[in-house]
Chains A and B, each alone.
Chain A
Amino acid sequence: MNTAIYWIAILVSGALFGFGLAFSTMLQPEVVLSFLRFEDFGLFLVLGGATGLTMVFYQLAPGILKKPLLVEKFSSKPPEGLKKTLVGAAIFGIGWGLCGVCPGPAIAGIGAGNWPVMYALIAMFAGAYVQGRWFSGN
């Protein structure tokens, strides 16, 4: 699938995502850290709004549309072992709690000019490399 409209649709999806991250102040690590310290629970509203809307489409689209508008079938996230998922989530949470940056905002931060967040972005790529190189378990 290499039509221009396919790639434009992906770009537009990402742009909506990035705009939402910026609009909701999630590109500011201070706001994320204030959530984790129970000072401002706004992140629950962001996550709830995003998940709630997505849930409607994830649950209903396959039944109504049968197939996506531009391709033949809907993808799904491949299942992973529960233990590995939860250990990884705990490690991720520790790093997130240290810096207040998640993988999405680390990327979108570039577009909003929050330059120091690029340290976290580069470090995330390094962490992913170490995971894949030495801890991917295959």
Chain B
Amino acid sequence: MELLESLFPAGMEHYIIGGLFIGAGVSFLYVVTGLVGGMSSLYSAAWSYCSSIAFFQKESHVKSRNWRLVYAAGLILGAFIWLTFSGSQMPITNVSTEQLLLGGFIAGFGARYGNGCTSGHGICGMASLSVPSILAVVVFLGAGMATAQLVASLG
């Protein structure tokens, strides 16, 4: 028990239940509509609404942009429902604006270059038993851990 408390000082229940809700969303999407619900593709597909560049106008982006946008609206709605009914406060992040801008830019670039993120390779790819996705998860976990610990040690 002490080991569990040291690994999960904030408790385990909310992580597991939250994860199951996420899995329920991705599973429901697949069973009802057959769609694979990673999030990062939206970041390319949405550019097809306003950019004439061939890459953004390719069929996979134009055909998927509407459902991806509705799915994203659902994400916002779900978080809003949690905020409204849980009685919890959302702690506003203290991560610096510079870190959010630089980290966000690099993460957005990398997620699209590698065609997937924590949900696309993480949840959907691993659930499909895709070997490239499983390797991608190992790589981004390693890179993320190294970066976060380097930043922390630099203070």
Contact = CB atoms under 8 A, between A and B. Distances in A.
Given A10-B29, A16-B74, A96-B103, 4 more contacts: A77-B124, A89-B114, A102-B107, A103-B119
B151 A97 contact: yes
Contacts of B20: 20, 49-50, 53
Contact of A99 (B86, B99, B120): B99
Nearest to A99: B103
A48 B19 contact: yes
Nearest to A15: B78
7 contacts: A20-B25, A37-B152, A78-B60, A95-B105, A96-B107, A120-B107, A123-B102
Interface in A16-49: 16-31, 33, 36-43, 45-49
A38 B145 CA distance: 8
Interface size of B as a range? 35 or more
Interface of chain B: mostly helix, strand, loop or mixed: helix
Nearest to A81: B132
Interface of A: 1, 6-7, 9-31, 33, 36-43, 45-59, 61, 65, 67-71, 73-80, 82, 84-104, 106-117, 119-133, 135-136, 138
Contacts of B141: 93
A127 B95 CA distance: 19
B82 A19 contact: yes
A124 B83 CA distance: 24
Interface of chain A: mostly helix, strand, loop or mixed: helix
Contacts of B135: 82, 85-86, 89
Nearest to A114: B90
A22 B47 CA distance: 27
Contacts of B92: 113-116
A13 B53 contact: no
Given A95-B110, A127-B104, A33 B21 contact: no
Contacts of A100: 93, 95, 103, 148
A20 to B, nearest CB: 3
Contact of B25 (A17, A67, A90): A17
Contacts of B110: 88-95, 127
Interface in B23-41: 23-40
B123 A50 contact: yes
B65 interface: no
Nearest to A65: B31
Contact of A42 (B15, B25, B53, B91): B15
